[in-house]
Amino acid sequence: MVLDTSRNLRAYPPGKVYVGGEDGISITNGISWCGSGSTKYYYSHISLEIALPSLVLLNLNPADFYDSGVDPDPTIYKCGFPPSGVGSWPICLAEFLTSPQPYMGYQYVKFNFLTPACEGRTSTDFTQMPIGQWLKLFLSFGIAGQNLSDDCSACFPENYHNIWGKAHGFISSPSGLPDIYITRDSQNEWTVTADTYFNNPDFQNSQYVSGNDQIIEHYCVCVQKTGKGGRITYEKELKYPAWTKTHLGFQIKFTKSQ
């Protein structure tokens, strides 16, 4: 897998080629389903996970953040990123991302790309499309700090917050191309192109913070619960202290091994 020289996502060190199964790199693809019966559709997906000892640069410029918001609740921790964990949102996010990722103490950086299915009500598979054709993509990505699948001992509100973002590709330019798509270059090569502002109009007004196209800071806390007979348990609760939008542009060339 090769990254281009785009400003938002760069190989580290420059020129590095990422190989699945080596040096903390995991590249997977497959087919999943949504719906059932006559409304059952399949979609294809490919994921890239980068963990130590490999690194990647996510270069987000504070000047490019055009829309942001924070939870007004003063008890919610904002900007919980090392090394300082201080600053204002989204400047603290941009400063955190000036370091190669995953930062020490973080688990991995992950990008997921999915072809449409449920929303478009049509089955799609990028591995079967002819050479030279393209398919629109849905993008999600994250930098994992707190292990949200672990028990409550992994929840530290003051630091190592997670970053999560998503963007639904859509066609808005005169070229007729979506802002996120995959092209088949040859029998064994595909290129993912992203040039998004997180501005798909169909994913802007969800009542849930995680329902919109945007980049989110989030973390977990452990909340005490009282069950039957006064039994005390602890459950995880997710907090979303801040969100933002910016421009994200890059290309990734995936090559299938022979």
Tens digits of residue pLDDT in 23-75: 999 999 998 887 777 778 888 999 999 999 999 998 888 888 888 999 999 88
Instruction: Please state, in angstroms and rounded to a whole number, the distance separating the CA atoms of residues 254 and 258.
Output: 13
pLDDT at 169 over 70: yes
Distance, CA of 43 to chain centre? 18
Determine contact, residues 49/20, Cβ cutoff 8 Å.
no
Distance CA 25, CA 1 (A): 10
pLDDT tens digit sequence for 94-142: 889 889 999 998 999 999 999 886 666 678 889 999 999 999 999 999 9
Residue 140: exposure state from Cβ atoms within 10 A (0-12, 13-18, ≥19)? middle
Distance in angstroms (rounded) separating the CA atoms of residues 216 and 214: 6
Is residue 138 within 8 Å of residue 114, measured between CB atoms?
yes
Is the CA virtual torsion 245, 246, 247, 252 positive or negative?
negative
Whole-Å CA distances, 185 to 27, 79, 112, 131 = 18, 40, 20, 6
DSSP labels, 5-26: S-SSEEEESTT-B--TTSTTEE
Q: What is the per-residue pLDDT across 206-216, written as a single tens digit (0 to 9) for each?
A: 777 777 899 99
Alpha-carbon distance of 239 to 217, in angstroms, equals 9
User: Alpha-carbon dihedral of residues 50, 164, 197, 243, nearest 10 degrees?
Assistant: -150
108-114 and 138-144 beta bridge pairing: antiparallel
